[in-house]
Amino acid sequence: MKLIKKVAFLTRHISRCFSSEATAASTAITPRQNEIFNQEKERQLSLIKRIEKIEVDHIGADEPCKLAMNKYLSTPYNVAMHLNQRYMDRSAIAMVNGKPWHMLQPLTEDCELRFITLKDDDVTEVNQAFWKSCSLMMAAVLQSAFKDDIPVELARAPDIPITTGCFAYDVNLPFKWQPTREELICLNRQAFMMADRKVNFERLEVSREVANRIFEDNAYKKHQVEHTEADRVVLFRLGDFVDITDGPLITNTGFMGPHRYVFTCVHSVDDYLKPTNKLLRFQGVAVPSEFRVHHTTWSILEERARKPVLVDLAPNMKSRHRIDKAQEDTAS
């Protein structure tokens, strides 16, 4: 069964599932989603009729200063450009008036701004952003990995605690599939290439109506839009892949270290929308590119991330006790 896109270094060994072009869209759905995304982005920009200035107070230990920036246009990354290359390269997220903020998200009012790196003393918020970004990147890889005639329905990134040692994404495939070691290596190779390209995570806040148009072919995303508590839906785009996540995410995929981002495990979980169906939960682990990790330590992290994680099996978490019990059974 030929299902997956081949990557050059494995073309002689894998023929089941991977397609020959890792960056190709899996279906015609992707161009349509991006067209709507681009139209909405342009529409929002067109609403800015005149440039207003805001005062941004950079409160970092180095180079504290006040800058006049453009309201609804300037981002923390633009602020970093006024300081030095170090802030541009190492800042994963920003704190704006004490709240975590995507580096490419426009500033909306006078604010205090502090840049956050993955090596700061307090990494609580940036660790969350890194883990969420890893999950979204996993979904982007999976969207482009399978041959065009294979319908891949990306469900959601489960809310998995960092303490489990892995990130994950739940996917609906039209067949039962247990990837071989070579196929996992092939997925890893695609992730390596994406990390090496330093692709930006692009944020856009849209109405429920626009979100439903973008995801009209995906029952899981429509369910997510329907059950979001906010009036607006936060989308992030990575390359051609568009997803729903509250964020913030890190600046770009360059913060994931090539060869230190891997798919580790694939297992079945209950489908919360289709009771007779099973979703595939893809798990992985990553280390930021700024960190050097000994191969022995990395092997331990990989082995831990291979253990199936059964938390957050449904968005509404109606059966928390049952889910926790399942997790305990897995750990035993």
The whole-angstrom separation of Cα 108 and Cα 245 is: 20
Higher pLDDT residue, 331 or 90? 90
The answer for residues whose C-beta is within 8 angstroms of residue 154's C-beta and 6 or more apart is 139, 142, 143, 169, 171, 172, 218, 220, 221, 243
What average pLDDT does the chain have?
A: 88
The answer for residues whose C-beta is within 8 angstroms of residue 179's C-beta and 6 or more apart is 17, 187, 266
Residue 309 near residue 160 (C-beta atoms within 8 A):
yes
Whether residue 240 is found in the same domain as residue 318: yes
The mean pLDDT of 62-68, rounded to a whole number, is: 90
The answer for residues whose C-beta is within 8 angstroms of residue 100's C-beta and 6 or more apart is 93, 94, 116, 125, 126, 128, 129, 248
Question: Into how many domains does the chain fold?
Answer: 2
Q: Which of 116, 145, 167 is the last residue of a domain?
A: 116
* pLDDT value at residue 332: 35
The mean pLDDT of 49-73, rounded to a whole number, is: 94
Whether residue 175 is found in the same domain as residue 259: yes
The mean pLDDT of 194-215, rounded to a whole number, is: 97
The whole-angstrom separation of Cα 284 and Cα 132 is: 12
Provide the token pair at 129: 């952003």
| Sign, CA torsion 286/290/293/295 | positive
Residue 314 near residue 326 (C-beta atoms within 8 A):
no
SS3 211: helix
* pLDDT value at residue 24: 41
The whole-angstrom separation of Cα 169 and Cα 131 is: 11
Whether residue 147 is found in the same domain as residue 194: yes
**Extended beta strands in 133-213, E state:** 153-156, 167-172, 201-207
Q: Which helix (H) or strand (E) holds 35?
A: helix 29-46
* pLDDT value at residue 175: 86
Mind listing the pLDDT tens digit for each residue in 16-28? 455 544 334 445 7
The mean pLDDT of 144-149, rounded to a whole number, is: 84
> Which ranges of 146-272 would DSSP assign to H, the alpha helix?
181-197, 208-214, 219-226
* pLDDT value at residue 18: 52
Q: Which of 67, 83, 116 is the last residue of a domain?
A: 116
Domain that holds residue 215: 23-33+137-331
> Distance from first CA to last CA of the chain, Å, rounded?
36
CATH number at residue 252: 3.30.980.10
CATH number at residue 67: 3.10.20.30
- pTM of the entire structure? 0.86
* pLDDT value at residue 86: 94
* pLDDT value at residue 153: 94
Whether residue 90 is found in the same domain as residue 144: no
pLDDT tops 90 at residue 143: yes
Q: Is residue 185 part of a domain?
A: yes
Burial of 295 (0-12, 13-18, 19+ CB in 10 A): exposed
Whether residue 154 is found in the same domain as residue 219: yes
- Virtual torsion, Cα 70, 236, 201, 69, nearest 10 deg: 10
SS3 92: coil
Whether residue 252 is found in the same domain as residue 297: yes
- Which residue, among 326, 250, 313, has the nearest Cα to 281 in the 3D structure? 313
Whether residue 83 is found in the same domain as residue 143: no
Q: Pairing state of beta strands 65-70 and 53-58?
A: antiparallel
pLDDT tops 50 at residue 42: yes
Whether residue 174 is found in the same domain as residue 146: yes
* pLDDT value at residue 27: 54
* pLDDT value at residue 287: 96
Whether residue 197 is found in the same domain as residue 275: yes
Mind listing the pLDDT tens digit for each residue in 170-201? 999 988 888 999 999 999 999 999 999 999 99
The mean pLDDT of 308-325, rounded to a whole number, is: 60
Place of tokens 């006078």: 110
Provide the token pair at 112: 């205090």
* pLDDT value at residue 195: 96
Whether residue 219 is found in the same domain as residue 176: yes
pLDDT tops 90 at residue 58: yes
pLDDT tops 70 at residue 237: yes
* pLDDT value at residue 12: 35
